[in-house]
Chain A
């Protein structure tokens, strides 16, 4: 009678193929991302200087790190930068999106103009703003030649204000993208709800405040997550715009890590700072990704 199921080789291969195909990518990610993370975290507990070395020193690098004024400056700069960058981009992005959503003529062109900075390298952005803000040849000089002799704008050379120029350039680069995110959110709102609210007598202001903006929650969340991780990763922009200066006025954790690891030969401390950066990003990204992926199941 019926002979038992003969599962031939080809069928068995077929059932293994998907995992086989996924495995190179997975192996790469496991080694190059998670393996490396473990290695870096490990290094942060060692006496590595110019090269990795495996003498265990416990929390010494971390305690050294927190005593360094250089690191503290980076962190406080990060605080200022992240707070301003995230809030300005969000407010600007939302505002521009709402304005653009009023059946604007030439909306396509305006959108294109707002968004193109996102296609540029931070190095290009940095270069452009560096010279534009340079008091010697840029805005200050221009306005003075135009007759406004007393005009002064030397933030980029000023220890107290240089960090704000980084904010300016970063906002310039990313706010258009945030605008596009909010615009997509606005376009996703059911028009009938708006019509109903208008029948209820809501003014435009109330319509936005009470009906529309609350419905943009997902867009706010995405914008926050994207902007905060970009903020923590900001590196190229500072290198190109200010080089971390004047002095250490625009150092950020990313530039700190780079210079301690590669120029100052303090690899252990560099690794410790990178670990702290990673933890910060993880604290934001992991809950977000968890929620996103679970929903989609």
Chain B
């Protein structure tokens, strides 16, 4: 599934080409517009925005909104800024990503190299779990977290994200390991390597690319999640997205658009960075979730 250009056989005239470039450019502007608005307005004083200058570059450059969004904006009842919620997200994302990726790798290994009767059905069950509307599990999940004493905790959220993420991580590793030569596994078996030794010594050293895909995908998904955060997080475990929404939706006081924009960028920054640094893998993850080939 490469996106590399090939020697296309289609020839286009000069006028057509100009038009094509024009359309492409127009859409590039369309996609950049909200980001431009966010960035530009996050470094302006508030009155420049309310005065109708949303599209203008800042006349007075200020990092004040960023500082405020980060450390002193009113979120819920406390003027804490987004900082504590940022760390909540980190504390939730890191373990959830690691656990779901490790489980996905092991599952993919079993489902491709230790096949047994009915394994495809089991995989189908796991995969379908990624696509359900999560509304269907909200009520029982809330009860379950309560029963397990994890209601409102970061660990509760980690559990939720692991459960609803393993379908995808399993899919990634399964598709990747499916084309990993089975003869290598057999050779290792004859050499006397056991189940975990084969995984650890033979498969894992070659799993770098897919592990990156899985990690990026899980990181993006979990970081960006709102539904589970809003449903299951307690006051001191709310993730970044929930806090941002609280910040933006708060009905008290003046609407500080510049702070909202700065907050939105702060919430988007980690995933955006990942996308820019490792976009190739990000795209591959997206594609594997759709075209399973």
Would A22 and B220 count as touching, CB distance under 8 A?
no
> Quick check: is A183 within 8 A (CB to CB) of the other chain?
yes
Looking at the complex, which one of B4, B52, B131, B220 makes contact with A187 (CB distance below 8 Å)? B4
Is the CB–CB distance between A207 and B140 below 8 Å? no
Q: Are A278 and B24 in contact (CB under 8 A)?
A: no
If A24-B103, A226-B289, A286-B128 touch, whether A96 touches B195 (CB-CB below 8 Å) is: no
Cβ of A139: which chain B residues have Cβ within 8 Å of it?
Answer: 54
A187 lies within 8 A of B116 (CB): no
Q: Which residues of chain A from 14 to 37 have any CB-CB distance to chain B below 8 Å in the complex?
A: 14, 17-19, 21-22, 24-26, 28-30, 32-37
Whole-angstrom CA separation of A113 from B11 in the bound complex = 25
- A29-B163, A121-B224, A124-B244 known; A107+B5 contact, CB < 8 A: yes
* Separation of A180 and B20 alpha carbons in the complex (Å): 17
Residue on A with the closest CB to B9? Answer: A194
**A54 beta carbon closer than 8 Å to chain B:** no
Which of A65-73, A79-87, A125-133 faces chain B?
A125-133
Indicate which residue in B109, B116, B136 contacts A40 across the interface (CB closer than 8 Å).
B136
Residues of chain B lying within 8 A (CB to CB) of residue A100: 24
* Bound: A172/B32 CA distance, A: 10
Given known A121-B226, A142-B54, contact A114–B133 (CB-CB < 8 A): no
A236 contacts B141, C-beta separation under 8 Å? no
A239 touches B126 (CB 8 A): no
B111 touches A119 (CB 8 A): no
Interface set, chain A 126-165, CB cutoff 8 A to B: 127-132, 136-139, 141-142, 144-145
Cβ contact within 8 Å between B123 and A116: no
Query: Quick check: B143 and A14 within 8 Å, CB to CB?
Result: no
When distances are taken between beta carbons in the complex, the residues of chain B under 8 Å from A232 are: 133
Q: Answer whether residue B257 sits at the interface, using C-beta atoms and an 8 A cutoff.
A: yes
Check if B245 is an interface residue, CB within 8 A of chain A. yes
> Bound complex: CA of A113 vs CA of B289, how far in Å?
21
The reply to whether A172 and B3 form a contact with Cβ atoms under 8 Å apart is: no
* Given A35-B140, A128-B34, residue A191 in contact with residue B9 (CB < 8 A): yes
* CB within 8 Å of A: which B261-293 residues: 261, 263-265, 267-268, 271-272, 274-276, 279, 282-283, 286-287, 289-293
* Partner-A contacts on B (CB < 8 A): 1-12, 17, 20-21, 23-24, 27-28, 30-35, 37-38, 41, 49-55, 103, 106-107, 109-111, 114, 116, 120, 122-129, 131-141, 143-144, 162-164, 166-167, 170, 178, 194-196, 220, 223-227, 230-231, 241, 244-245, 248-249, 257, 260-261, 263-265, 267-268, 271-272, 274-276, 279, 282-283, 286-287, 289-293
Q: Could you jot down 16 A-B contacts, CB within 8 Å? A: A22-B110, A25-B166, A35-B140, A99-B24, A101-B10, A111-B3, A118-B286, A120-B224, A122-B226, A123-B241, A131-B54, A187-B3, A236-B226, A278-B132, A281-B131, A289-B124
